[in-house]
Structure 1
Amino acid sequence: MVLCRTVLYAVLITLPTVYQAFPYHKSIKEASCGYDACHETIPGMINVHMIPHSHDDVGWLKTVDQYYYGSKPSVRKAGVQYIIDTVITELQENPDRRFIYVETAFLWKWWLDHNESKQQQVIDLINSGQLEIVGGAWSMNDEAATHYQSTIDQFTWGLRKLNDTFGACGRPHVGWQIDPFGHSREMASLFSQFGYDGVFFARADYQDLKHRFDTKTTQMIWQGSSNLGTASRLFTVAFNGTYAPPSGFCFDINCEDEPIIDDINSPDYNVDSRIADFTAYIENYASHLQTEHVLVSMGEDFNYQDAATWFVNLDKLKKYINAKQEEGGRLNLLYSTPACYLKALNDANITWTVKEDDFFPYASDEHSYWTGYFVSRTTSKYFERQANNFLQVCKQLYALADVEEEYEEQLSNLREALGIMQHHDAITGTARQNVFEDYSRLIYEGFQHCGNITERALRKLSASDLPFVSCLLRNVSQCEPSEISDTFMVTVYNPLSHEVSYYVRLPVLGSAYSVRDASGNEQKVQLVPIPDPVQNLPERNSNATFEIVFLANNVPPLGFRSYYVAVVNSTDEEMWSVMESSNSSIGNDDLQALFNEDTGLLQSIMIDGEEMALQQNFHYYEGWVGNNSEPALRASGAYIFRPNGSSVAVSSAVDTKIFKGELVEEVHQTFTDWISQVTRVYKDKNYIELEWLVGPIPVDDGIGKEVITRVTTDLVNNNTFYTDSNGREMLKRVINFRPTWDLEVYEPISGNYYPITSKIVIEDVSKGLKLAILNDRAQGGSSLRTGEIEIMVHRRLLYDDGKGVGEALEDEAFGKGRIARGKHYLVVGPTEGSGNMSLAAQERLLAQEKLLSPWIFVTPLSMSFDEWTSYTTEFSGILQNIPQNVHILTLEPWKNNTVLLRLEHIFEKNEDLVLSDAAVVNLEELFTPFVVKSIRETTLAANQWLGEYDRLNWTDTSGISMDSWEVPNDIPNISLKPMQIRTFVVEVTR
């Protein structure tokens, strides 16, 4: 239903209502924070910036609550509440001291747990610059397995809490990514778009770090995007491989280093020796840097639970080091923050080298490539991706249906659960088993809370009081409403910005069904057998043996269409719509998959009548066994992928069943008793879908296994392939090569594995052909030999890799190894594509459709079709057709009658002759449910007005300075360039 309305629009310099999106808790005039709060440095001296900090994992060895409250001390003596409490006390003791805090999830938990007096103490410390927030997201996110949408969301939520509570002084200036296991270029781009001045991290490849120390390039300008120009540059500081203090200078209660004893009459007096050791360390470190400024991280995991033990010793260290200046000492110690350190480097006014690639893969020694976590706990990675899908649906429906304010806390539950899940020991699969069970609990509860919101929204939009149920176990072909009801409604909600046609699949017990839309049009229905291995899953509680399949055609953008489904009595075999076939091929008019009649394996494909060799099979690597006492004895584990030799094919021949119908044709393949797959082609789709089922991975032989799917073609890609960066821009990869140093390869398999968040591609330039494989969750893979792509899908290992988690990656469920089910999408064809769209453009649109898949709600019915049609069964939140290359990345309720709106251009430069062009969208004519009253643009994370902040400017060695982000004057007809994201706070009336 399209709403007739008059659009009211005004461009305001100050917007009284919208401006409250960025309130100040205390007048900025009363504060001296940020760069204004930095201590003076001394020219000509080695200025040592001491950074007191605590790295507080949002779950790892203990759950989030256990870490916060300090319970389970036998696992780890760590209590975040005590860290914040004692740091506050110690900062108040001495205004010279500084401390930084990172994880908003913990800070907000502490904030809600304390009275106004304590809260005001924190406000005063932040306003004085003594306590500085860095990073500021809900958690310190991983950078390999995270999708850019989830990263933006968790920064937005964390920064909103800081903004609402502390105002301008609570806004971070820098990213602090000290613990993630490798760093993505897209993350640098996002930080630049957040308005940050730089990023700091500790972990980089050991060979890369050595090269950078030798060449004085540990500090650099990072080009965050190949599409967004120099505005996407970000100054980057890489530490010396650790965020811990210098050896011998950890003063935490959990450390065993000697304190500084300055009583000259004490037999344990040690000031001179301690000062000498520290001075030697700093002078050596400074010799590898371009400026006279040295950053020293004074803290570690869960440090400062008794902050006095740190600050008393740091005060002494500062006092006695600086006293040496009178004797010609070159060191000047000062309490500092990452932002102040960055400002000092900027004030040096020198030029810096530029980095254009990323920091993957990360190796900490010659046998320790941190590429296993790309895949570890693959089912958790899928659950997170599904939760993000539902979160976007939930936020959109909340905004479109104007759901009541009392539901806001329920929306926050899933927001915060997913913010925690982006943590670098959560989405990575590197926390302990019980912690993952807690992560799953948080996400499941978030699903339930958002389910209340979506049901309320759909009831309002459909003018009904019907239930709208999400079937979270559709992945194992289980959905109670569709199985127990002879009549039910299927509501397909489309979170994309364009119409989508989606094949609905639901498990059923009946043998014949009718599916009608509200106009009474009968839809084609196909019944497809559920594969036997799926039916036998131990966690599955269903008697369904078939799924109904029908096409929900042209579901409107940000809208829904409902269908009436009913069991019908029929003996006509046509109602089954699918018959087992002996033909060894499946496909449609444009694409066919051909299977070897002897082995049952995929052997080739036909594209527009041209046959291309293409084989697919499953293999596994045996995980290396070791005790981790030295690099050569490193075991394969949750973090580390270290295969013991080449891969082993699980089977040379498979059992197959082929089913064909009017809507879909598919081959059910059984490789072993623990690996099976469905290969299918829908009638109007240009890709092959591979739905794999792997597990329990057998380990009775005492050998851990890492399972891959491998696709082999006759394409010649010359050791070159491409992977996405957090689901956004594509990066070129070359086997046994790094762009910035001469690589020595000791682990030729794991050392060439890269994160695949959404896509991996190989291309034969001479033939003009390419193959892309898209996935449904974060994984890892490579193209180790010409014409091949392999993607790891599941891992089960029997030894810990010695990187801290202290558990082998057994990943069990129901008393056995965990079973994983997932999908890959093969897109093959000429590079220029078909019709008027390149193959890369088709991949982009498919990736969007799979990331934000239409969400299915099932409603049991006890009414006739005619009664059902009295409800509203179709809705679109979009008033106009927006360009195909534009996507509404975010639509969510904000505050004070506003919504938060993000639009993105989803194509890179030169990906498509047409769709890579700039696009224009009229914001005032965009939505049906509300009238736009005013619009104002913000930075990407929606915590600052665009144009009301200044980033530090940096110049590279070729003399190029960094551009500022453009402040376009084009509202309401906004323009989007390739890969550009623009964010707006929109005031609306209903």
Structure 2
Amino acid sequence: MDRMVKETKARHPEVNLMYSTPNYYMIAVNGLNVTFKERAVTTCPFGLTISLSLWDGVSGKCGYDACPQSDPKKLNIHLIAHSHDDVGWLKTADGYYDDSVHLIITNVVKELEKNAERKFTQVEIYFFKRWWSVQTDERRDVVRKLVAEGRLVFTNGGWTVNDEGAAHYNNIIDQMTLGLKFINQTFGQCAHPKVSWQIDPFGASLEMPSLYAQMGFDAHVVNRGPSIDKGEYIWDASRDLNTKIFTTVLHAHYEPPKGYDFENNNNSITDQNVEQKVREFIDIAKNYSKDYGNTNQVLMTMGMDFRYKTANTWFENMERMLKEAKARHPEVNMMYSTPNCYIKALNGLNRTFAERSVDYLSYWVGYYSNRPALKYQDRITNNMLQASKQLSVLARLDPLNTRAYMDEASNEVAVMTHHDAITGTSPQATADDYTSRLQSGYAASKRVIQKA
């Protein structure tokens, strides 16, 4: 190539042949100020607006721009369609994926295609990446379109919903990095999570809101904690680091109100009961709003553990509710929404929220010390992973020769941050599976160290 560059410079003055990179090429194209035919438009991490040329008919809206419009004169009820998918608990992570999660994601994507107003919140990236890896290019394009239009939304973005009391902060940062890196590389900035989703750990520590604030999240969602005060506030998590983040506590766990779990078409909305069911649902929402200071914005979680295997029954029943609310309740604006959109709506109120600087962690304290061998194995495996990372750099190992080992070790250590893994709150068969995973991660890290 050097000979080519030299010859071109000597004999072809009309040509500028040079070494380059994709970044430099895009910078050069951007500098032309040429008008291109528009398709799906997004903003790249380095600040240039370019055409993705992926699909026709993409709205180009994502993130906060894809949110439905709130009505300041009405009670805005945000229906948050979600499924909480434990990365191991009563079953192993593999068991849950095979029995439930692959079906959940597949059916949710099918249902989102049917109606542009539908939205779904995806959380655990461990499961989503497994599902993504076996999809065809055609299905991947469908998902990219849903993400680009703000209909499939990633919240939290970590490999798991990590524990807050027994997981090491190093592991927490790594598992968040693993998930966020996959999202960014696969979908770009459009998909970047803006809100946390710590809805099932056994207590809420000061460390997590501090970490989320440092990671650039706009808001923090929590659920469990001893004597946790319901409401919304600014969590002053670390005065040394000046990390503050807006926080909302879920009203009643992360499930829908009793009688509105539509899995397998249970509690279905019919012509005979729709008026009563919607009226009762709105009454619950009004009470929630009153409890949280009458902000006129209410977050209603429409999901639970491993829900949406029958995604059609959820969306069909919610649409009957939406139709009824629109027809008979002019004081209400009920809509499909996401945690992003709820936070955006609250921010638009320009209200001042009180600050708190306490944690809510001492909850089910037995998990701090149970299954000590598993906790010890987790720490030792993480030590090996960190050593392998550093030695691979110092020894300048070819990533092509180490990536498979590093990926394996990173995956298994990240899985262990899950709030039913490092805590030891799963049955013996699942704990044995976690042990096997850590052994595999340890062996993978050891191979990298040997190569170094």
| More helix as a share of residues | 2
Say yes or no: does 1:259 pair with 2:268.
yes
**Alignment match, 2:306:** 302
SS at 2:342 equivalent: helix
- Name the CA distance, whole Å, in 2 between partners of 1:25 and 1:444: 45
Instruction: Give yes or no for contact 1:199–1:234 (8 Å, CA) kept in 2.
Output: yes
- Name the CA distance, whole Å, in 2 between partners of 1:431 and 1:169: 35
Say yes or no: does 1:425 pair with 2:436.
no
CA-CA distance at 1:294 after TM superposition = 0.3
Q: In structure 2, which of residues 313, 319, 328 is the aligned counterpart of residue 315 of structure 1?
A: 319
CA-CA distance at 1:420 after TM superposition = 0.4
Q: In structure 2, which of residues 79, 82, 105 is the aligned counterpart of residue 50 of structure 1?
A: 79
Query: What are the superposed Cα offsets for residues 390-420 of structure 1, whole Å, 9 maximum, x if unpaired?
Result: 1110100111111122211110101010110
**Alignment match, 1:243:** 254
CA-CA distance at 1:380 after TM superposition = 0.8
**Alignment match, 1:131:** 152
Q: In structure 2, which of residues 387, 396, 407 is the aligned counterpart of residue 393 of structure 1?
A: 387
* CA distance 1:114–1:428, shift in 2 (3 Å): same
- Name the CA distance, whole Å, in 1 between partners of 2:190 and 2:45: 12
Instruction: Give yes or no for contact 1:25–1:167 (8 Å, CA) kept in 2.
Output: no
SS at 2:204 equivalent: coil
Q: In structure 2, which of residues 238, 241, 266 is the aligned counterpart of residue 228 of structure 1?
A: 241
- Name the CA distance, whole Å, in 2 between partners of 1:26 and 1:197: 27
Residue identity (%): 39
- Name the CA distance, whole Å, in 1 between partners of 2:442 and 2:51: 32
CA-CA distance at 1:330 after TM superposition = 2.1
SS at 1:259 equivalent: coil
Q: In structure 2, which of residues 283, 288, 293 is the aligned counterpart of residue 285 of structure 1?
A: 288
- Name the CA distance, whole Å, in 2 between partners of 1:312 and 1:295: 20
- Name the CA distance, whole Å, in 2 between partners of 1:115 and 1:94: 22
- Name the CA distance, whole Å, in 2 between partners of 1:113 and 1:305: 18
Amino acid at match of 1:242: H
* CA distance 1:384–1:22, shift in 2 (3 Å): farther
Aligned pairs for 1:624-643 (under 5 A) are none
Query: What are the superposed Cα offsets for residues 874-895 of structure 1, whole Å, 9 maximum, x if unpaired?
Result: xxxxxxxxxxxxxxxxxxxxxx
Q: In structure 2, which of residues 85, 95, 109 is the aligned counterpart of residue 66 of structure 1?
A: 95
Q: Higher Cα Rg: structure 1 or 2?
A: 1
- Name the CA distance, whole Å, in 2 between partners of 1:440 and 1:335: 41
Q: Tell me how many residue pairs correspond in the alignment.
A: 406
- Name the CA distance, whole Å, in 2 between partners of 1:287 and 1:241: 14
Say yes or no: does 1:39 pair with 2:71.
no
**Alignment match, 1:342:** 343
Instruction: Give yes or no for contact 1:398–1:454 (8 Å, CA) kept in 2.
Output: yes
**Alignment match, 1:208:** 228
**Alignment match, 1:195:** 216
Say yes or no: does 1:111 pair with 2:140.
no
- Name the CA distance, whole Å, in 1 between partners of 2:276 and 2:59: 43
- Name the CA distance, whole Å, in 2 between partners of 1:451 and 1:208: 43
Query: What are the superposed Cα offsets for residues 952-982 of structure 1, whole Å, 9 maximum, x if unpaired?
Result: xxxxxxxxxxxxxxxxxxxxxxxxxxxxxxx
**Alignment match, 1:372:** 366
Q: In structure 2, which of residues 168, 189, 209 is the aligned counterpart of residue 147 of structure 1?
A: 168
Amino acid at match of 1:377: R
Amino acid at match of 2:376: Y
Query: What are the superposed Cα offsets for residues 535-567 of structure 1, whole Å, 9 maximum, x if unpaired?
Result: xxxxxxxxxxxxxxxxxxxxxxxxxxxxxxxxx
**Alignment match, 2:377:** 383
* CA distance 1:126–1:25, shift in 2 (3 Å): farther
Query: What are the superposed Cα offsets for residues 378-397 of structure 1, whole Å, 9 maximum, x if unpaired?
Result: 11111111111111101001
Aligned pairs for 1:891-970 (under 5 A) are none
* CA distance 1:259–1:30, shift in 2 (3 Å): closer
Instruction: Give yes or no for contact 1:50–1:333 (8 Å, CA) kept in 2.
Output: yes
CA-CA distance at 1:31 after TM superposition = 2.7
- Name the CA distance, whole Å, in 2 between partners of 1:396 and 1:47: 50
Runs of 4+ in 1 over 6 A off after TM superposition: 27-30
CA-CA distance at 1:30 after TM superposition = 6.6
- Name the CA distance, whole Å, in 2 between partners of 1:277 and 1:296: 13
CA-CA distance at 1:173 after TM superposition = 0.5
Query: What's the TM-score once normalised by structure 2's chain length?
Result: 0.86
CA-CA distance at 1:307 after TM superposition = 0.3
Query: What's the TM-score once normalised by structure 1's chain length?
Result: 0.40
- Name the CA distance, whole Å, in 2 between partners of 1:418 and 1:359: 26
SS at 1:182 equivalent: coil
SS at 2:247 equivalent: strand
Amino acid at match of 1:260: I
CA-CA distance at 1:449 after TM superposition = 1.3
Say yes or no: does 1:361 pair with 2:369.
no
Aligned pairs for 1:728-743 (under 5 A) are none
Q: In structure 1, which of residues 161, 164, 176 is the aligned counterpart of residue 185 of structure 2?
A: 164
CA-CA distance at 1:374 after TM superposition = 1.4
CA-CA distance at 1:16 after TM superposition = 4.9
SS at 2:245 equivalent: strand
Amino acid at match of 1:224: A
- Name the CA distance, whole Å, in 1 between partners of 2:444 and 2:52: 34
- Name the CA distance, whole Å, in 2 between partners of 1:146 and 1:402: 30
CA-CA distance at 1:260 after TM superposition = 0.5
- Name the CA distance, whole Å, in 2 between partners of 1:25 and 1:235: 34
- Name the CA distance, whole Å, in 2 between partners of 1:401 and 1:104: 31
Q: In structure 2, which of residues 421, 446, 449 is the aligned counterpart of residue 454 of structure 1?
A: 449
* CA distance 1:26–1:361, shift in 2 (3 Å): farther
SS at 2:77 equivalent: strand
**Alignment match, 2:407:** 412
**Alignment match, 1:778:** none
SS at 2:167 equivalent: coil
Amino acid at match of 1:310: W
Give structure 2 stretches of 5+ with no counterpart: 1-21, 28-43
- Name the CA distance, whole Å, in 2 between partners of 1:384 and 1:177: 21
Give structure 1 stretches of 5+ with no counterpart: 1-13, 71-78, 213-217, 263-268, 363-369, 458-990
Aligned pairs for 1:852-863 (under 5 A) are none
Amino acid at match of 2:379: R
CA-CA distance at 1:27 after TM superposition = 7.2
Instruction: Give yes or no for contact 1:204–1:241 (8 Å, CA) kept in 2.
Output: no
CA-CA distance at 1:240 after TM superposition = 2.1
CA-CA distance at 1:153 after TM superposition = 0.6
Amino acid at match of 1:379: A
SS at 1:144 equivalent: coil
CA-CA distance at 1:22 after TM superposition = 5.6
Amino acid at match of 1:281: I
Instruction: Give yes or no for contact 1:25–1:164 (8 Å, CA) kept in 2.
Output: no
**Alignment match, 1:272:** 275
SS at 2:145 equivalent: helix
With a CA cutoff of 8 Å and minimum separation of 6, indicate the structure with the bigger relative contact order: 2
Amino acid at match of 1:383: Q
- Name the CA distance, whole Å, in 2 between partners of 1:278 and 1:61: 31
Instruction: Give yes or no for contact 1:98–1:336 (8 Å, CA) kept in 2.
Output: yes
- Name the CA distance, whole Å, in 2 between partners of 1:68 and 1:16: 42
**Alignment match, 1:673:** none
Instruction: Give yes or no for contact 1:31–1:169 (8 Å, CA) kept in 2.
Output: no
**Alignment match, 1:937:** none
- Name the CA distance, whole Å, in 1 between partners of 2:53 and 2:212: 27
- Name the CA distance, whole Å, in 2 between partners of 1:202 and 1:298: 15
Instruction: Give yes or no for contact 1:25–1:166 (8 Å, CA) kept in 2.
Output: no
Query: What are the superposed Cα offsets for residues 254-306 of structure 1, whole Å, 9 maximum, x if unpaired?
Result: x74x20002xxxxxx11121122112211111111221100000000000001
